[in-house]
Structure 1
Amino acid sequence: MANPPHGGILKDLIARDAPRRDALAAEAESLPAIVLTERQLCDLELILNGGFSPLEGFMSEKDYNGVVENNRLADGNLFSMPICLDLSKATIDDVGVKPGARLALRDFRDDRHLGIITVEDVYQPDKKKEAQEVFGGDEEHPAIKYLFTQTQEYYVGGKIEAIDRLMHYDYVALRYSPAELRLHFDKLGWSRVVAFQTRNPMHRAHRELTVRAARARQANVLIHPVVGLTKPGDIDHFTRVRVYQALLPRYPNGMAVLGLLPLAMRMGGPREAIWHAIIRKNHGATHFIVGRDHAGPGKNSKGVDFYGPYDAQDAVEKYRDELGIEVVPFQQMTYLPDSDEYKPKDEVAKDVKTLDISGTELRRRLRTGANIPEWFSYPEVVRVLRESHPPRSKQGFTVFLTGYTNSGKDAIARALNVTLNQQGGRSVSLLLGETVRSELSSELGFSRADRDTNIGRIAFVASELTKSGAAVIAAPIAPFEGSRAAARDLVEKYGSFYLVHVATSLEYCEKTDRRGVYGKARRGEIKGFTGVDDPYEAPKNPDLTVDLEKTNVRTAVHQIVLLLEAAGLLEQL
């Protein structure tokens, strides 16, 4: 193919001298090691295979400053996104990170050494400047949140010598390196390739726009979805790849190829679009579809878009000649039912009937099991999505009851367990506080740290069960607001979470205590007892509050059931 990679030479570090890599592997065993995070691994993979050409390592301070300020590496090459190895002061001191040091780079997943970095410099970035120049400065931007909450305080620059490629166990045949994809295009005789970036499922409109883009340019299509880190809340890559595989036969005459990109997205809008164009150029594409609000994170809490709708297209177009890749504007497609075809919206007369289904509406239909018409998406695609997105009545959820000892939360939990098992339709798991303490947290005491650890364990188990479609009923004391909030955040990654405050008063709990545990706590025979010599923070915003001094267990359970029914999680009893 006659389209050279960005910078002129593909920096495929893995392809270099194999005996040298064997020697490096032996050397790595004697070197101090840096264990890389998931995002650092994504970056490393694309450094090693040439996806980030002309980079040959993590950015030095000169490269970093040039990219932040001017979209330029120190040698003048265009590059729009900082690619940095961030480390804490503690790690730098412990490992001995300093200029000239050679350090092994280790995969946290399997402890394999992937390369050796020769440290060029260690520097403290101006994160405020990076946030402003690269991402626009809005504190709600996910990349800026990540920068200030998860990125460490020091960056380390230096070239990398490759030892081995990252090991993947999913969709191995679709994980082409840039060199492999270029060779594949050459075997197929493709000289013009339109790359399509996506982190979402594809439907008929996407197929139509990519086919149109390719035919208009006498080209073929590279469907190049991101399978590294995307926006929180995005559909998992396993589901998405199954969708792309189902869609591929719908392209005419082998027009399209599917390849996976292990990129950690930053959702950086215009900067990210330039970066994406560079990556696709390195993979052999000659054309690149840049969408409306390409790689933008959406809206902030005020409902304002982080970037303008065409900022990304304008940014890539500005560097078109230097990039050596042609920008293909994303055409918004709409369905014309009278002629049973898709057309770009700007080519449709105002009086012509059109049909569209928004992303929000699609999610609603998946959630409720409503019909998804064939004009919108192919049946084989819908089938994949329904497998991963069952209707609400089949989704997992967690009911988390909190309250004092003897508040009635255990009685409510047991009764709710019976009620949900009676209804059927999903498995039900009961996690009572005392049971968890004896079976899962027997070594823990009742300090605040131990209490938080206990709730964290309950939340983890609940999240895994929720993910598998179960109904989870958890009933610990859970006296602290912070640990309850953390439990909600964890479970809500996979399903609904309902906090029920069993607000029976401490006085009533003591008065009706037939086991005498409150008396023992008052006499000092039990230490760290919630409500006696340990605090209880009442929930500020529970989903439901019940009080067994004023109502009974049956009514409390009925209120919870009504809450679940209103959310569509239960069939009508």
Structure 2
Amino acid sequence: MQAEYNAHGGTLKQLYLSEEEAKLAKETAKSLLSWDLTHRQICDIELLLNGGFSPLEGFLTQQDYQSVLDKMRLANGVLWPMPVTLDVSAKFAEQIELGDEIALRDEEGVIIAIMQVSDRWQPNKAEEAEKIFGANDQTHPAVSYLFNQAGEIYLGGKLKGVSTPSHYDFKALRDTPAELQDKFKKWGWNKVVAFQTRNPMHRAHQELTFRAAKQVEANLLIQPVVGMTKPGDIDHFSRVRCYEHLVKHYPEQTTTLSLLPLAMRMGGPREAVWHAIIRKNYGCTHFIVGRDHAGPGKNAQGEDFYGPYDAQNLMNEFKDELGIEMVPFQMMVYVKERAEYQPVDNVQEGETVLNISGTEFRRRLAEGLEIPDWFSYSEVVSELRKRYPARHKQGVTVFFTGLSGSGKSTIANALLNKLMELGDRSITLLDGDVVRKHLSSELGFSKEHRNLNIQRIGYVASEITKNGGIAICAPIAPYRSTRREVREMIAPLGGFIEVHVATSLEVCEQRDRKGLYAKAREGIIKEFTGISDPYEVPENPELIIDTVNCTPDEAAQRIILKLESMGYIK
């Protein structure tokens, strides 16, 4: 338990119990209050237990949390830039007394760890967003997660590891810090430079990493994140297959591939320091930090959250205590006249720079267009084409939202028939009332139950989309956060088109064939959208339709044209 390990790199805090202790703990856990870990928490706990987050011995206490926010340090002064907290619901937290032990379980109910709760507090999430991510802006994926998915209460305390989280994929590529340190020692790798990535790697990345390793005369560890990355990123299964192809393009016995089960926060400079500490725990001596390391993209004003070299600057501030050396690198570009990649600052006046942005690369994949050899390896491109075929071969969800009586179901039925007439893909209509009858009959109409109903619709639609079909969803879906959650669930798997049926409340009441609005006005129906419960108007839907000036036939045709213009139908 909490054994210290020092093979090739820094001291590791391994929190697993011995086999005999774990057996006894499993029996004890049967009588404990249990918390089912979220995906992010499972990623965090794996790196806490195996030493990847050394020197942490559990989820942060309130004192450590506040110190990390204010100073990028634990309360004892040790450098640590990112809060690692156990967020739970207020209802769950109410059942706990400080000093209690709780069982932490995976999604299947398997006991992973026992935690002694030393701290319980309600965080100021706005303060956390500002101090950790630089802005209280929900365009940032971690800030969105903080406000829309994370629990209200944080628990802190030490962990006792009972079992390792299960992984059934790429087992040969999954190493604990101790295992990777041992491999480096066995191979005689005294200097190891690590490369962090959450995207497929192309020729520019290969050139950058090869030069970095050569520059410091070190071996190279490519260690991609396979836990949680930015919503919308390419799935890790496809990426790892690409990495396996790419590793063959390095000189033999110089490079290895290992997977990191990290839940990224996309925290830019702070995240770069965090990544460096983690790589030190894995036995690396050097860490590559490039342009806009772990940046999430643009904020609500259309500006980058972080400067291009902010991460490198912050790394330099802590270089004397990090215990791992940064290898800074600029963006690599292909110089046509030289037929080779060069750092952008090495390009001479008059030379032609060729580049394909990530957006352009995705467009070419979606439209089945050529991707030149100078940009990527053919095996990598082939792998990505298998996972991301041309857009007209992908699945797509058309997600209607609007008030009761706005005309969603009528338009959805018209669209269903027009798409069935085309006949090139399977099409499923998930109407709000029908889903209520067959999938959510036990649910009421509280906000919690309405959200759960929409999440179920989103899940079914995601499966249809993933398998190349067309899902037409027609619920009321009154809340922006739930619609955003559904979009994030589906968008990585295919197309997602939000259609706001923007018929006014007055018109909807006039059409009220079931008398629902009248009953809501009289207070007979509680929490009725538009009367006693708000409808949050979509901010950026792909299409807005007002049925006062548009027949169902015309509305369906507008959606067909939108699908066609976006490439989802031919």
CA contact (8 A) 1:334 1:356 kept: yes
Cα deviation for residue 302 of structure 1 reads 1.0
Report the equivalent of 1:513: none
387-396 or 56-65: which moved more? Answer: 56-65
Displacement after TM superposition at 1:154 (Å): 3.8
Counterpart residue number, 2:98: 98
- Contact 2:497 2:542 (C-alpha < 8 Å) held by counterparts: no
TM-score (norm 1): 0.85
| Structure 1 unmatched ranges of 5 or more | 511-516
Which of these residues, 128, 131, 134, is aligned with residue 132 of structure 2? 134
Helix, strand or coil for the counterpart of 1:161?
A: strand
Q: CA deviation at 1:453?
A: 5.9
Question: Which residue number corresponds to residue 496 of structure 2?
Answer: 496
Displacement of 1:117 in angstroms is 2.1
Q: What amino acid sits opposite 2:468 in the alignment?
A: G
1:60 is displaced (CA, Å) by 2.4
Consecutive unaligned residues of structure 2, counting only runs of 5 or more, are none
Instruction: Tell me: CA distance 1:466–1:66, structure 2 relative to 1, closer, same or farther (3 Å).
Output: same
1:74 maps to: 75
Q: Distance in 2 between matches of 1:507 and 1:125?
A: 42
| Structure 1 vs Structure 2 CA RMSD | 3.8
For residues 66-215 of structure 1, what are the structure 2 equivalents within 5 Å? 66-94=67-95, 96-99=96-99, 101-107=100-106, 109-140=107-138, 141-215=140-214
Q: Does the CA contact (< 8 Å) of 1:5 and 1:53 recur in 2?
A: no
Match status 1:38 vs 2:45 = no
Counterpart residue identity of residue 110, structure 1: E
Partner SS for 2:94: helix
> Shift in Å at residue 186 of structure 1?
1.8
Change (3 A) 1:426 1:78: same
Post-superposition offset of 1:344: 1.6
Partner SS, residue 42 of structure 1:
helix
Give the Cα separation in 2 of the matches to 1:175 and 1:350: 45
AA matched with 2:15: L
Question: What secondary structure sits across from 1:253 in the alignment?
Answer: coil
For 1:371, give the aligned amino acid: E
Asked if 2 retains the 8 angstrom alpha-carbon contact of 1:69 and 1:133, the reply is: yes
Tell me the SS of whatever aligns to 1:25: helix
* C-alpha spacing 1:391/1:62, structure 2 compared with 1 (3 Å): same
Aligned to 2:390: 391
Q: Which residue of 2 aligns with 1:559?
A: 558
Matched letter for residue 81 of structure 1: M
Contact 1:501 1:539 in 2 (8 A): no
Q: Is the 8 A contact 2:7 2:178 kept in 1?
A: no
When residues 288 and 521 of structure 1 are mapped into structure 2, their CA distance, relative to the original with a 3 A threshold, is closer
Letter in 1 for 2:422: Q
CA distance in 2, matches of 1:479, 1:220: 52
How far, CA to CA, are the matches of 1:535 and 1:69 in structure 2?
39
Shift of 1:445: 7.5
Offset, 1:253: 1.1
Contact 1:544–1:560 (CA<8 Å) still a contact in 2? Answer: no
* Structure 1 residue 489: Cα displacement: 6.3
The whole-number CA distance in structure 2 between the counterparts of 1:399 and 1:135 is: 33
Amino acid at match of 1:111: G
Contact 2:9 2:284 in 1 (8 A): no
| Matched-pair contact (CA < 8 Å) for 1:456–1:483 | no
Q: Flag the structure with larger Rg.
A: 1
Q: SS at 1:245's partner residue?
A: helix
CA-CA distance at 1:444 after TM superposition:
6.3
Q: C-alpha distance in 1, partners of 2:458/2:221?
A: 41
Letter of the 1:265 partner, please give it. Answer: M
Classify the secondary structure of the residue corresponding to 2:354.
coil
Distance 1:538 1:127 in 2: 22
Aligned residue type for 2:120? V
Instruction: Number of aligned residue pairs: give it.
Output: 555
- CA-CA distance at 1:41 after TM superposition: 1.7
C-alpha spacing 1:569/1:144, structure 2 compared with 1 (3 Å) = closer
Amino acid aligned to 1:497: I
Question: Which of 5, 9, 12 is residue 10 of structure 1 equivalent to?
Answer: 12
- Please tell me whether the aligned partners of residues 508 and 549 of structure 1 are also in contact (alpha carbons under 8 angstroms): no
Aligned to 2:369: 370
Q: Mapping of 1:143-542 within 5 angstroms?
A: 143-400=142-399, 413-414=412-413, 416-432=415-431, 435-436=434-435, 438-441=437-440, 456-475=455-474, 478=476, 485=483, 491-492=490-491, 494=493, 495-499=495-499, 501=501
Please give the alpha-carbon distance, in whole angstroms, between the structure 2 residues aligned to 1:394 and 1:97. 54
Aligned partner of 1:51 in structure 2 is: 52
Distance 1:111 1:265 in 2: 24
Q: Shift of residue 468 of structure 1? A: 2.1
The residue identity in structure 1 corresponding to 2:22 is R
- When structure 1 is superposed on structure 2, of 197-206 and 417-426 the one drifting more is 417-426
The Cα offsets for residues 363-383 of structure 1, whole Å up to 9 and x where unpaired, read as: 111121111111100011111
CA separation in 1, counterparts of 2:178 and 2:568? 49
- Name which of structure 1's ranges 374-383 and 64-73 shifts more when overlaid on structure 2: 64-73
Residue type at the aligned position of 1:158: G
Using the TM superposition, name which of 350-359 and 134-143 deviates more. 134-143
Cα gap change, 1:569/1:98 in structure 2, threshold over 3 Å: closer, same or farther?
same
Tell me the CA shift for residue 36 of structure 1: 2.3
Query: Per the alignment, do residues 565 and 4 of structure 1 end up closer, same or farther by CA in structure 2, a change over 3 Å counting?
Result: same
In the aligned structure 2, how far is the partner of 1:400 from the partner of 1:231?
A: 22
**1:455 offset after TM fit, Å?**
5.2
CA distance in 2, matches of 1:143, 1:408: 36
Q: Is 2:39 the partner of 1:61?
A: no
Write out per-residue CA displacement over residues 419-456 of structure 1, whole angstroms, 9 at most, x where no aligned residue. Answer: 43343432222345665455445566789887776555
Distance 1:466 1:161, change over 3 A: same
Measured after TM superposition, the shift of residue 471 of structure 1 is 1.7
Q: What's the CA shift string for 1:434-483, capped at 9, x where partnerless?
A: 6545544556678988777655544432232123221223456x495769
Structure 1 stretch 439-448 or stretch 17-26: which is displaced more?
439-448
Contact 1:401 1:499 in 2 (8 A): yes
d(CA) in 2 for partners of 1:490, 1:479: 15
Structure 2 length normalisation: TM-score?
A: 0.85
Distance apart, 1:350 and its partner CA: 1.7
Cα distance in 2 for residues equivalent to 1:405 and 1:322: 60
- State the secondary structure of the residue aligned to 1:250: coil
Contact 1:398 1:474 in 2 (8 A): yes
Conservation of the 8 A alpha-carbon contact between 2:68 and 2:80:
yes
Deviation, 1:485, is 4.4
Q: Secondary structure at the match of 1:254?
A: coil
One-letter amino acid of the counterpart of residue 85, structure 2: C
Shift of 1:292: 1.4
Letter in 2 for 1:280: R
> Any conservation in 2 of the 1:49–1:177 contact (CA below 8 Å)?
yes
Q: Which residue of 2 aligns with 1:514?
A: none
Question: Residue 545 of structure 1 aligns to which amino acid in structure 2?
Answer: I
Once residues 150 and 537 of structure 2 are traced to their aligned partners in structure 1, the CA distance between those partners, rounded to angstroms, is 32
Report the Cα offset of residue 315 of structure 1.
1.5
* Structure 2 residue identity aligned to 1:75: N
1:210 aligned counterpart, secondary structure: helix
Q: Taking structure 1 as reference, are residues 304 and 60 closer, same or farther at Cα in structure 2, changes over 3 Å only?
A: same
Relative to structure 1, is the Cα distance of residues 508 and 59 closer, same or farther in structure 2, using a 3 angstrom cutoff?
closer
Q: State the distance in 2 between where 1:452 and 1:363 align.
A: 32
